[in-house]
């Protein structure tokens, strides 16, 4: 007869298989953790690289380049405006004729009339331009007032400082004005010496 305790297994092949599976799962878990950790480290390094791209030296150099570019653009714009101004002046100005070499009176009168008509034409153009500019300025002012009203902002005007008693003194100094007695408005105070006040206090104390 065999003992039933001999039939029971303590450990054996099944226990070894369970231990190997647990070990494999643990290794897989550790491997996944390592992969996740590696990804996080790589992402952190990328962020650090992006943050440190603009170092103080690079910022300084970039600022200098931007300032140089802005100054060059400004000079180019000024040169373009100056050339346009000279072009307009050349178109509007007329070359003065050499009057000293002209001996004919009729020709001199013709030159004078041409110059006079030119000046009159320029004055008319100037008047028209000033009128248009004035209209535009008034429209701009009205629009700014409307915008300020819509925003609820009131532009405080510059007020002149005026003395509070200036009008009163002017009325008093005016001829025919009744003289007011300033002392009448003062409060009447009894004159008492310091000794009498002290004596009264001492008497009331005792």
Domain ranges in the chain? 14-51, 55-93, 97-151
Give the model's pLDDT for residue 124: 92
DSSP 8: S
Q: Is 152 helix (H, G, I), strand (E, B) or coil?
A: coil
Burial zone of 111 (CB within 10 Å; 0-12 exposed, 13-18 middle, 19+ buried): middle
Of the candidates 165, 163, 143, 144, the one whose C-alpha atom is nearest the C-alpha of residue 155 is: 144
Phi, psi (deg, nearest 5) at residue 64: -65, -45
pLDDT tens digits in sequence order for the chain, 206 residues long: 445 455 444 445 555 666 788 888 888 888 888 888 888 888 777 766 555 567 888 889 999 999 999 999 999 999 999 999 999 888 877 777 777 777 788 888 888 888 889 889 889 989 999 999 999 999 999 998 888 877 776 666 677 777 666 666 666 665 555 555 666 666 665 555 555 666 666 555 55
Q: Is 7 helix (H, G, I), strand (E, B) or coil?
A: helix
Written as six digits, the tokens of 195 are 């000794």
Q: How far is CA 10 from the centre of its chain?
A: 86
């Amino acid at each position: 007869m065999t003992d039933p305790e001999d039939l029971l297994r303590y450990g054996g092949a099944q226990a070894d298989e369970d231990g190997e599976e647990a070990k494999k799962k643990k290794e897989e878990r550790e491997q996944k953790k390592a992969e996740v950790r590696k990804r996080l480290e790589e992402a952190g390094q990328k962020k650090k690289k992006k943050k440190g791209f603009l170092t103080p030296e690079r910022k300084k150099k970039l600022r200098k380049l931007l300032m140089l570019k802005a100054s060059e653009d400004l000079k180019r714009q000024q040169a373009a405006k100056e050339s346009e101004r000279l072009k307009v002046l050349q178109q509007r100005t007329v070359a003065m004729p050499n009057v000293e070499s002209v001996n004919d009176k009729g020709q001199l009168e013709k030159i004078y009339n041409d110059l006079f008509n030119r000046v009159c034409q320029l004055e008319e153009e100037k008047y028209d331009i000033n009128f248009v500019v004035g209209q535009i300025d008034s429209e701009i002012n009205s629009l700014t007032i409307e915008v300020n009203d819509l925003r609820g902002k009131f532009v405080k005007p510059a007020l002149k400082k005026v003395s509070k008693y200036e009008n009163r003194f002017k009325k008093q100094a005016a001829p025919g004005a009744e003289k007011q007695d300033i002392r009448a408005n003062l409060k009447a105070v009894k004159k008492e010496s310091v000794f009498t006040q002290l004596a009264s206090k001492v008497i009331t104390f005792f």
